[in-house]
């Protein structure tokens, strides 16, 4: 589904250069749970941002179902991202003034889904992640585990084929983190969704179909 070819990402800070990624090549197969494991500062988030089309590489290519995304305009990249990729972040990124239901509806509104369908789909997704009784709660009234479940439901809103999860258990205790990992794993097994996750959590490797290790911007295997 996704292939990266010799990706590099260099950030310039004054006269200095920070090489976040150094020639990373990997493949993610359709319907699999793939983990990128590494410590903080290893380049995991940078790699996910490139694969998720949130950033462009300094050099190298990202292929999405064989399509070279480096040849796409910014508008084409946004369209591909909105229709095909869902994101789950460590800090949830829920809008505090919106309810759980409204947070899940938001990506559908951006994609032009009609309001009645937004509501129907958002309710179903929140019920699937075990939050059918929290539809009208704002983030401040939810536990951290519940907020991450809302984030997972939101990531599924437009029926993506790829979920990119950046440290989804980073703010959670071990029990809640395990529940979120199993929820993501279930997306692969029950929906056929491809999950690509970056984490420093060794537990994730047990649930993964494939694990890569990243250290100082270099893929270890």
Range of weakest confidence among 34-43, 63-72, 81-90, 172-181: 172-181
pLDDT digits (tens, 9 = 90+) for 136-147: 999 999 999 999
Vertex 26: Cα angle to 25 and 27 (nearest 5)? 145
- Specify whether the CB–CB gap between 13 and 208 falls below 8 A: no
Vertex 30: Cα angle to 28 and 34 (nearest 5)? 40
Residue 130 clears pLDDT 80, i.e. is over it: yes
Give the pLDDT score at 209.
94
CA–CA gap between residue 156 and residue 114 (Å, rounded): 16
- Specify whether the CB–CB gap between 112 and 105 falls below 8 A: no
Give the predicted TM-score (pTM) of the model.
0.94
- How would residue 204 be classed by pLDDT, with cut points 50, 70 and 90? confident
pLDDT digits (tens, 9 = 90+) for 162-196: 999 999 998 888 899 899 999 999 999 999 999 99
- Specify whether the CB–CB gap between 8 and 21 falls below 8 A: yes
Question: The dihedral of CA 172, 178, 179, 181: what is its sign?
Answer: positive
Across the range 5-9, mean pLDDT stands at: 98
- Specify whether the CB–CB gap between 46 and 21 falls below 8 A: yes
Q: For the chain, which domains are there? A: 31-45+81-219 (3.40.50.300)
Give the pLDDT score at 118.
97
Residue 157 clears pLDDT 90, i.e. is over it: yes
Give the pLDDT score at 221.
62
The upper half-sphere exposure of residue 20, i.e. CA atoms within 13 Å in the direction of its Cβ, equals 20
Residue 73 clears pLDDT 80, i.e. is over it: yes
More confident residue, 15 or 150: 150
Give the pLDDT score at 31.
95
Give the pLDDT score at 5.
98
Across the range 66-90, mean pLDDT stands at: 95
Give the pLDDT score at 151.
96
């Amino acid at each position: 589904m996704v292939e990266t070819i010799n990706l590099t990402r260099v950030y310039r800070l004054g006269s200095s250069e920070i090489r976040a990624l150094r020639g990373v090549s990997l493949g993610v197969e359709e319907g699999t749970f793939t983990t990128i494991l590494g410590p903080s500062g290893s380049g995991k988030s940078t790699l996910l941002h490139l694969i998720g089309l949130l950033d462009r590489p300094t050099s190298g290519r990202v292929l999405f179902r064989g399509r070279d995304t480096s040849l796409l305009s910014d508008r084409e990249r946004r369209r591909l991202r909105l229709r095909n990729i869902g994101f789950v972040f460590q800090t949830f990124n829920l809008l505090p003034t919106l309810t759980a239901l409204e947070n899940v509806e938001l990506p559908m509104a951006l994609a032009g889904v009609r309001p009645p369908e937004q509501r129907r789909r958002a309710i179903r997704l929140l019920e699937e992640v075990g939050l059918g009784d929290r539809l009208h709660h704002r983030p401040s009234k939810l536990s951290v585990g519940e907020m991450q479940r809302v984030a997972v439901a939101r990531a599924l809103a437009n029926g993506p084929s790829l979920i990119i999860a950046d440290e989804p258990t980073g703010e959670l205790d071990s029990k809640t983190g395990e529940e979120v990992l199993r929820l993501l794993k279930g997306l692969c097994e029950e929906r056929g969704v491809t999950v690509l996750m970056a984490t420093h959590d060794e537990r994730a490797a047990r649930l993964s179909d494939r694990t890569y290790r990243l250290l100082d911007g270099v893929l270890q295997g």
